[in-house]
Chain A
Amino acid sequence: MTEPLHAFLLRQAERAPDRVAIVDGERRVRYGELARWSERLASLLRGAGCDKGDRVGLLLPKSAAAIGAMHAVLRAGGIYVPLDPQSPAARLRRIVESSEPRLVLADGTSWARAAELDALCGGLRLGLLDRSPEAPGPRPLFDAGDLDSATSVVGAPSVSDSDPAHILFTSGSTGTPKGVVITHGSVRAFVEWANGYFGAGPEDRNSAHSPLFFDLSTYDIYGTLHAGAELHLVPPHLNLLPHKLAAFIRDHELTQWFSVPSILSYLARFDAVAPGDFPRLRRLLWCGEVFPTPSLRYWMSRLPHVQFTNLYGPTEATIASSFYTVERAPEDDREPVPIGWPCGGEELLVLDEALQSVPPGGTGEIYIAGAGLSPGYWNDPETTARAFLPDPRNPGSRIYRTGDLGRVDERGRLVYLGRADSQIKSRGYRIELGEIESALNSLGLLSECAVVAVPTDDFEGQIVCCAYASERESLTPQQLRGRLTELLPSYMIPARWKRWAELPKTANGKTDRKRLREDFAEAAHSRR
């Protein structure tokens, strides 16, 4: 019998109930307290009919309550679905309609969004983690008052390794977000490997920088609780102020930092890190996109006492599948940092179109096999079958097609070479350009549009650009942008816009995306 994910918290709560688990602003939540709170919420969820395999939406900001709620859902046998309160209700509606949650949990800060979603979806079952508002609107099934008086869980179902723990929705190329199902066993396999490799222990103070709908946060949370360490929630608004963010790392005496590279490049750009800064920091991990070599060199020269590790892997293979600890930053700015070697229990393959192994030195597509593989996309067997293929060497097991291009170098390390399709990363966010085009087309204002990504030399990584044509003479980019914010989260909104009489075409009549990219790149260059 293996442990479910929520057992990490319960074990620490028994062993050291008075140790601090989560630092959330001024609040310090202890292991014992977090375990008891999540048990009371689990009991309310059971009372509201939540049974094994039921989904529960978490419309919650990054907070101690959200992490307690994740544990409550798992303890009730359910599957949690993080819902970003910053995302427009129209997009959240698609996630709710796909995942069909038995219940959606909100707090005081997200209650207005919950009410909006409730109206759009024609009635949700809601739970509120704060006191009920006086204002008119939907009534929650329970609120903080019920939570205070709730008792222990009655008849919690047992879960096994192959049971789903959560569903993370990522951008989908057809316009509808895709739900990646993640199991208890996949998360546990990564956490056990990573905590062993990094030597994590109860003395650690880890950052929680990524939002909860982003799978980096899965390691922040379960890695910390597994180690019995402290998780320090990084307030999202610090992302604009590099010196304030550096002060957070310093003042909280963090020992581990884990984020996407763009925020690290942002700090480097404003030189917010002093030589020998963050004396307590032991390791700095990044994942989600390429860390530009000049920024990495800046960090490594500032912090010679820190271990720098590049993690690689899509959500579909749970947090990360390969790792590379950098001894020295490459001297050539254009030389990428390798994504390295497989994490424990994982296997990375470079295959050609016929699924044959590409010899070292050759370029192919990266496939992943092993403990981290998701069972597939929620309620979408067709997309699942296209991405998760039978392993040609052993048809009883599966491999995941990442869409990433790679090559094995002369030292046997895997090197990432870009995407094979139109998925991009901008400031670490995984974005399907097709989802943005689909949202633009749904406005009914444009005769043509194309969304392309253009690389920058700066901290943003790639920027999203939109070329469009419209018969409406008076339509401005400001109006288009405004309408699009009702449909997409802010990180998907194009930063550059250009109106064309008609979009340029290739010889065979398709939109000439290469020309559009060149056009935007040139315009971006001349802005400097």
Chain B
Amino acid sequence: MDRHEIEARIGRILRERANVEVPTADTDLLESGALDSMTFVELLAQLEQEFGVPVDIAELELDDLRTIARIGAFVASALGAVRS
């Protein structure tokens, strides 16, 4: 799965599960208020389900979540770790 595909899937999760239309992969989700705790918890659950990567909330940094691109990078590296 390439980065573009991962980002598209994250965008779809936000659209379908949280009704949030995020304009670009670089839109700041925290500043725009799109990502509140409710949406966030839903997003983590969906990331685990959709990509099969475990997400440990205790290890997350805020910057991992700031944009769709950053979340995508996080998922990609987790996928890499799962495969190897």
Contact = CB atoms under 8 A, between A and B. Distances in A.
Contacts of B58: 242-243, 270, 272
Contact of B65 (A240, A272, A460): A240
B21 interface: yes
Nearest to B62: A237
A239 B65 CA distance: 13
A497 B19 contact: yes
Residue among A427, A478, A482, A491 with the most chain B CB within 10 A? Answer: A478
B20 interface: yes
A478 B38 contact: no
Interface band, chain A: 20 to 34
B60 interface: yes
Contacts of B34: 490
B37 interface: yes
A113 to B, nearest CB: 12
A302 B12 CA distance: 39
Nearest to A482: B21
Interface in A110-166: none
B36 interface: yes
Nearest to A235: B62
Interface in A468-518: 477-479, 481-482, 485, 489-491, 495, 497
A241 B20 contact: no
B14 to A, nearest CB: 9
B21 A490 contact: no
A381 B20 CA distance: 40
Interface of B: 15, 18-21, 30, 32-40, 57-58, 60, 62, 65
A272 B60 CA distance: 13
Nearest to B64: A241
B20 A459 contact: no
Contact of A463 (B35, B38, B60): B38
For the complex of A and B, the 3 pairs showing the least CB-CB separation, nearest first, are A490-B33, A478-B21, A243-B58
B39 to A, nearest CB: 8
Interface of A: 86, 237, 239-244, 262, 266, 270, 272, 427, 459-460, 463, 477-479, 481-482, 485, 489-491, 495, 497
Residue among B15, B32, B57 with the most chain A CB within 10 A? Answer: B57
Nearest to A489: B33
A453 to B, nearest CB: 13
A427 B36 CA distance: 10
25 contacts: A237-B30, A237-B62, A239-B37, A240-B35, A242-B57, A242-B58, A243-B57, A262-B37, A266-B37, A272-B58, A427-B37, A427-B38, A459-B37, A460-B37, A463-B38, A477-B19, A478-B19, A478-B20, A482-B21, A485-B32, A485-B33, A489-B33, A490-B33, A490-B36, A495-B19
Contact of B21 (A242, A270, A479, A497): A479
Given A460-B37, A491-B36, 20 more contacts: A237-B62, A239-B37, A240-B35, A240-B36, A241-B57, A241-B60, A242-B57, A242-B58, A427-B36, A459-B37, A477-B19, A478-B20, A479-B21, A481-B20, A485-B32, A489-B33, A490-B33, A495-B18, A495-B39, A497-B19
Contacts of B38: 427, 460, 463, 495
B31 to A, nearest CB: 9
Nearest to B59: A243
Contact of A240 (B20, B21, B37): B37
Contacts of A460: 37-38
A335 B58 CA distance: 31
A244 B40 CA distance: 15
B49 to A, nearest CB: 12
A237 B20 CA distance: 19
